[in-house]
Structure 1
């Protein structure tokens, strides 16, 4: 699909942070709490979704993360220092590169986040979509403006991680009026279960959840379908995060007068 061609049916496939430090190599494996093979499945399925989108003329938008300390705010730096987290996806390194099967092609827009989760805070599109000699609309600055200029009102999401950058971007997209679809086999969660975050997005954003192998479904605009309420989930709530070393203990709420239980008889 060229930069001047209209977006098919007002849909874009948004691929979030499928970069080496998140899904390939020892750093990715050490951070992911589940079987690292799941990351490889996500990459493979996302590559298939991208191929299907290109074949159908559906717009593909790629988003990447750069975590260099110079891009981090004070709170971000404090958190990483307290938790001993090394920076990831440093500009110019292998870790920041898109994983091999998911390189942009000429005319596809690439948006770069600088130490942020939400792609609507990203800069771009970059000239040529990161491909030398390619053309993208130079008047579109920022994801929202780019999508609006392209006539896109429905975003299908793939990438990492479902409960971090995918959710952050989907949340803003919903609030800005975009319809949301999530490809469940093209993403996975880092801090909670996949079921929990997908159910959350269905309930809160009205997201449609499907898989990569149904492009005729996920490329179709959600307004063409009736609303369906997601089923309740019995998954337990996520555990409280570990305390940051040196932080004061959590504050206990004072008892409300009159609410104390009566003393035991005795």
Structure 2
């Protein structure tokens, strides 16, 4: 495929685009944010704005898989002992109504291995598709995301997920 010319320079800047060198990154589409009984809803949030995009994310994921584009998933997930939860983050969560690690219908909120950290069924990862647990907004901080991308020889990233002004933006920066 030839570089697409738009704006000031062609993309990719150094040659042809390749699906095998481009990864789809699906950000934080987990039950704690999407489910009506998840952490986000328990803090007073309305998950319908997140669930509304599920069909479109599923379409993008299906297309990426069909063309052989590697797919990565991120989840906001903390250690069970909460050692990676800063006091200020816990304070904010508790002020919203439910602290990180507190029990709820989907297990302990935002804790690795709990049901709330599972990716929503319509876009669940297939065997071999990495799920990157991150304790904050960016998938590049306190995770192995960078190493996974380098090992897979990924040069370009395409993003889908929630929230655009939060975890998506922090990861793409």
Tell me, yes or no, whether TM beats 0.5. Answer: yes
Alignment of 1:111 onto 2:122: no
Q: For the aligned residues, what is the CA RMSD?
A: 2.2
Equivalences for residues 51-70 of structure 1 within 5 A: 51-67=62-78, 70=82
Report Cα offsets for 1:205-241 as digits up to 9, x if no partner. Answer: xxxxxxxxxxxxxxxxxxxxxxxxxxxxxxxxxxxxx
Name the CA distance, whole Å, in 1 between partners of 2:142 and 2:54. Answer: 22
Equivalences for residues 166-177 of structure 1 within 5 A: 166-171=168-173
Give, in angstroms, the shift of residue 109 of structure 1.
Answer: 1.5
Q: Which residue of 2 aligns with 1:31?
A: 45
Report Cα offsets for 1:1-40 as digits up to 9, x if no partner. Answer: xxxxxx72521000111101111224445413xx81x322
What runs of 5+ residues in structure 2 fail to find an aligned partner?
1-17, 101-108
Name the CA distance, whole Å, in 2 between partners of 1:15 and 1:81. Answer: 27
Report Cα offsets for 1:61-102 as digits up to 9, x if no partner. Answer: 111111457131122123234444432323333211111112
Q: Quick check: which has more Rg, 1 or 2? A: 1
Relative to structure 1, the CA distance from residue 84 to residue 18 in structure 2 (aligned partners, 3 Å threshold; closer, same or farther) is: same
Alignment of 1:72 onto 2:92: no
Q: Tell me, what secondary structure is at the counterpart of 1:119?
A: coil
Name the CA distance, whole Å, in 2 between partners of 1:56 and 1:166. Answer: 23
Name the CA distance, whole Å, in 1 between partners of 2:35 and 2:97. Answer: 21
Give, in angstroms, the shift of residue 165 of structure 1.
Answer: 0.7
Relative to structure 1, the CA distance from residue 86 to residue 78 in structure 2 (aligned partners, 3 Å threshold; closer, same or farther) is: closer
Equivalences, count:
143
Pick the aligned partner of 1:41 from 18, 34, 52: 52
What runs of 5+ residues in structure 1 fail to find an aligned partner?
1-6, 124-141, 172-266
Name the CA distance, whole Å, in 2 between partners of 1:81 and 1:26. Answer: 17
Relative to structure 1, the CA distance from residue 110 to residue 167 in structure 2 (aligned partners, 3 Å threshold; closer, same or farther) is: same
TM-score calculated relative to the size of structure 1: 0.49
Q: Tell me, what secondary structure is at the counterpart of 2:113?
A: coil
Q: Say whether the 8 Å CA contact 1:19–1:95 is kept in structure 2.
A: yes
Q: Say whether the 8 Å CA contact 1:69–1:77 is kept in structure 2.
A: no
Relative to structure 1, the CA distance from residue 25 to residue 109 in structure 2 (aligned partners, 3 Å threshold; closer, same or farther) is: same
